[in-house]
Amino acid sequence: MTNRGIGLPANSRILKKICVLGDFAVGKTSMIRRYVLDEFDDRYITTLGTKITKKNMNLEGRDLTFQIWDIVGNIKFTKIQGQYYQGSDGAFIIFDVTRRDTFDNVSKWADMFLEVAKGARLIFIANKVDLDSTFDFEAMMEDVAKRYNAATFRTSAKTGAQVEDAFKTLGERILAHKSKGT
């Protein structure tokens, strides 16, 4: 017999799929490593294939497992990427504050992703804030985020600044959204 009648099943862990997107070398793999392993490795090699990592967390008393998809690639490979996005609950769209061109592509990443993962939550991330930025991204970033009803974070995968908070906020937003029944 199961314990269904007397409450939640013993294993009530909630599984959420999130994708980490953005141009080459913005710090996607480093962010995941920092969050999952709490380490930063300068020698970390460029991701060779899609890698899926899991991380458990407790949010507002609920046990959540993030299934984190580190997707390799280029904004041009939209068709191939689409299948990876399927079933996602959220995504980080990352750019590098030292490379303006990586910011110019954030809307493309967001649109491409949302086309497949309809209703998923987004967070825009300005990464590498331990370095001096080469352009004024603040106002532009907030503008884009507003359009997608998304939050924004300024992180450093190198120092770890704001990385954990960004993941926590994405988790909270996903849970809040889903509980509205949409």
**Nearest distance, CB of residue 24 and ligand G3D, angstroms:** 5
> What does 178 interact with, of ligand G3D, Mg ion, none (CB < 5 to 8 A by kind)?
none
> Which residue among 26, 91, 112, 166 contacts ligand G3D (CB under 6 A)?
26
User: Strands, DSSP E only, in 29-145?
Assistant: 51-59, 62-70, 90-96, 121-127
> In whole angstroms, how far apart are CA 162 and each of 22, 34, 88, 91, 139?
18, 11, 23, 16, 19
> What does 157 interact with, of Mg ion, ligand G3D, none (CB < 5 to 8 A by kind)?
ligand G3D
Nearer to ligand G3D, 102 or 169 (CB): 102
The tally of CA atoms less than 13 A away on the side-chain side of residue 66 is 28
Residue 47 within binding range of Mg ion, rule CB under 5 A: yes
Tokens (6 digits) for 161: 């600044």
**Nearest distance, CB of residue 20 and ligand G3D, angstroms:** 8
How many Å apart are CA 31 and CA 136, to the nearest integer? 22
Residue 127 within binding range of ligand G3D, rule CB under 6 A: yes
Q: Write out the binding residues for ligand G3D, residues 128-157 only, by CB under 6 A.
A: 128, 130-131, 156-157
> In whole angstroms, how far apart are CA 166 and each of 32, 78, 90, 132, 152?
11, 26, 12, 21, 8
Amino acid in position 33: R
Q: Write out the binding residues for ligand G3D, residues 41-60 only, by CB under 6 A.
A: 42, 44, 46-47
- Binding residues for Mg ion, rule: CB under 5 A, are 28-29, 47
- Binding residues for ligand G3D, rule: CB under 6 A, are 22, 24-30, 42, 44, 46-47, 127-128, 130-131, 156-158
